[in-house]
Amino acid sequence: MLDYNEFLTRKNKIDVLLKEQGWDVKDRSKVWLEVDTKQSEFKARKYKVVAETLKSDLDSRYADYLLLDSNGEPLAVIEAKRTSKDPIIGQRQAEQYADDIKSQTGKDVFIFLSNGYEIWFWNKPYQNPRQVKGFHSQADLERIRFQNKAKKSFADIPIRKDIIDRPYQIESAKRVLEGISKGRRKFLIVQATGTGKTRVAMALIGVLLRTNRAQKILFLTDRKALRNQAHDKGFKIWFPNEAKSKVFSGSLEKEARLYSSTIQTFMECYHEFSIGAFDVIVSDEAHRSIYHKWKDVFTYFDAIQIGLTATPSS
């Protein structure tokens, strides 16, 4: 691993990773560098940089990067460290930048911490920091921001009894929802063949959609027949009014909310998607996908993961 100083870390690593997700650091409609979070006027979208305020007698505090939303308002800050440093050491600094912005706008912004090799994402104050494989796109962050504000309590949205009605199915769904409420992001539903694993997944998807906890959901299988089943006998039946799409290549129908694909298709094209393209990924026959040669797909995306598998043989 090359030991870059902070300037080279930003230029050679972080700037490149940002551009991959649509963040061009030369485009001031999206990215500002070295923004003074003390002297900028965030409500008026007047962002002052180090060259303007360094010699001022007023207090200053400089965010390495300020990412803007589609309206030109603050969306996220990034604290960069040289490659040899643990990016987590910048957590308090980044929190101060976010607090400065919130003190003016009344709105939270997302926080990223990076040394060019590691990236940590903090959806403050809703979730704890977590390590991710890349930066989220502008659309990803705007979608997560909507969910932060619009989400409803799981207690207010009942599980649909027309999808699942057996006690063990309802119990499985409730356990997953409890885990999500506690901040967990990985789940494995183990049920014998023929006991309705897919229906449990569909019931969970229904609750997540209705509580505004998810807007983009991907259902992965290891066979085309199972992909078609999830789409035709799952999505079409239980969510007839939701926009649906089968994925055959590295492109998405942006207006769709429910996607089905084979893991083989995604293995060939997953890098063409942003890491935050999906809120939830369901993996059917998870024992053949998550833990074997296709696991890279699941470690790449920053999504809640729900695996489905049959009862292991003793």
Per-residue pLDDT reduced to its tens digit, 43-58 = 999 999 999 998 887 8
Instruction: Give the tens place of pLDDT for each residue, 223-257.
Output: 899 999 999 999 999 999 999 999 988 888 888 99
Over residues 297-306, mean pLDDT: 94
Mean pLDDT of the chain: 93
pLDDT over threshold 80, residue 289? no
Note the pLDDT of residue 11.
Answer: 95
Phi, psi dihedrals of residue 34, rounded to the nearest 5°: 50, 55
Could you give the CA distance from residue 86 to residue 311 in angstroms, rounded to a whole number?
41
pLDDT over threshold 90, residue 34? yes
Note the pLDDT of residue 252.
Answer: 82
* CB crowding 172-206: b at 16 or more within 10 Å, else e: bbeebbeebeeeeeebebebeeeebbbbbbbbbbb
pLDDT-derived band at 314, boundaries 50, 70, 90 = very low
pTM, two decimals, is 0.93
8 A C-beta contact, residue 275 and residue 133: yes
